[in-house]
Amino acid sequence: MAKIEQDLQTPEITIGSEITKNRKGTYFKNSSFQIFCFSSAIILGIVLLSIIVFIGKTGLLVFEDVSVTEFFFSTTWEPFDEKYGAATFIIGTLSLTALTLVFATPISIAVAVFIVEVAPDSVKRVMRPILDLLVGIPSIVYGYLGLTILIPFIREATGSIMGDGLLAAALVLTLMVLPTITRISDDVIASVPREFREASYAMGSTRLQTIFRIILPAAKQGIVTAVILGMARAVGETMAVVMVIGNTPQLATDLLTPTSVLTSNIVMQILNVEFQSTWNYALYMMAFLLLLISMFMIIVIRRIRTKGV
């Protein structure tokens, strides 16, 4: 009798042991995954902080030999004469970014609106993959196209001797950031509730009125985020800009004057200087300025997402 009772209880004990073992295994896997994720985040934060500290610390060494006023407000960049005025490159960067913003923003939003609100499904299925493909094209390809196609066209159209400058660089950057801004704006506009459109049409609004008075205001927060992300890419772009802007350390008097920006000046000169030199420290300070600009844009995006615009 005791043997029979023991046999009846054995399966329950075995099943209970298996459940306990599975729970312990699941708990171990979850704990290990949490530790891995937390460690990865900590390592990423340490690496990012190290980069910021290294670039900033190295860049600030320039002010041991160059005054803050000269570096930020002088337009004379002659390293062989120990003159390190970076105002030309700072103004050039801001001017190029602003010009790209003027070109890219209305075109990108218009394309996004067309895809979501106007284009038939067959066109949407073609345009969206094309835009995704354009995002993945290397920047040097855009720069080469600008060098071989755009600049000769500008020379013929304007009669300019060189053809390179802010206009060529802004047009190339517009083509580069347009897919990014368009795809994000596309997703944002498509996420506007359908009820908004139906209510607008029910009130007698036309499609154009619905787009400008209902849909775009509702998607404003996401569109601003898309534009800032696009400008962040434009600010940090190097190779494409180097190939079409002229790389001359002078202020641009017009859109067809060869000039230079922070990124192009760094990449053109960083390999020709000694590490422990004022020239090198000045280039690192320019890199630190680019890093600060990018961080500022990221902070603005996070503020927009938190509070809206």
Look at residue 77 and tell me if it is in a domain: no
Could you tell me the CATH number of the domain that includes residue 207? 1.10.3720.10
pLDDT in tens, the chain (309 residues): 444 455 545 555 555 565 665 666 677 778 888 888 989 999 999 998 999 999 999 999 999 889 999 999 988 999 888 899 999 999 999 999 999 999 999 999 999 999 998 888 888 899 999 988 888 888 889 999 999 999 999 999 888 888 888 999 999 999 999 999 999 999 999 999 889 888 888 888 888 889 889 999 989 888 988 998 888 888 888 888 999 998 888 888 888 889 999 998 998 888 888 888 899 999 999 999 999 988 888 888 777 766 554
State the residue range of the domain holding 32: 2-64
**Shared domain check, 174 and 282:** yes
**Shared domain check, 97 and 204:** yes
Residue with tokens 């902070």: 299
**Shared domain check, 230 and 274:** yes
In this structure, the number of other CB atoms found within 10 A of the CB of residue 301 comes to 17
The Cα–Cα gap between 266 and 283 comes to 6
The Cα–Cα gap between 239 and 248 comes to 15
**Shared domain check, 103 and 54:** no
Number of domains in the chain: 2
**Shared domain check, 109 and 17:** no
Q: For the whole model, what pTM was predicted?
A: 0.82
Helix axes 121-136 and 166-190, enclosed angle (nearest 10): 130
**Shared domain check, 225 and 133:** yes
Look at residue 69 and tell me if it is in a domain: no
Q: Which of 85, 50, 141 is nearest to 265 (CA)?
A: 85
**Shared domain check, 108 and 51:** no
Give the burial class of 167: count Cβ atoms within 10 A of its Cβ; 0-12 exposed, 13-18 middle, 19 or more buried. Answer: buried
Look at residue 285 and tell me if it is in a domain: yes
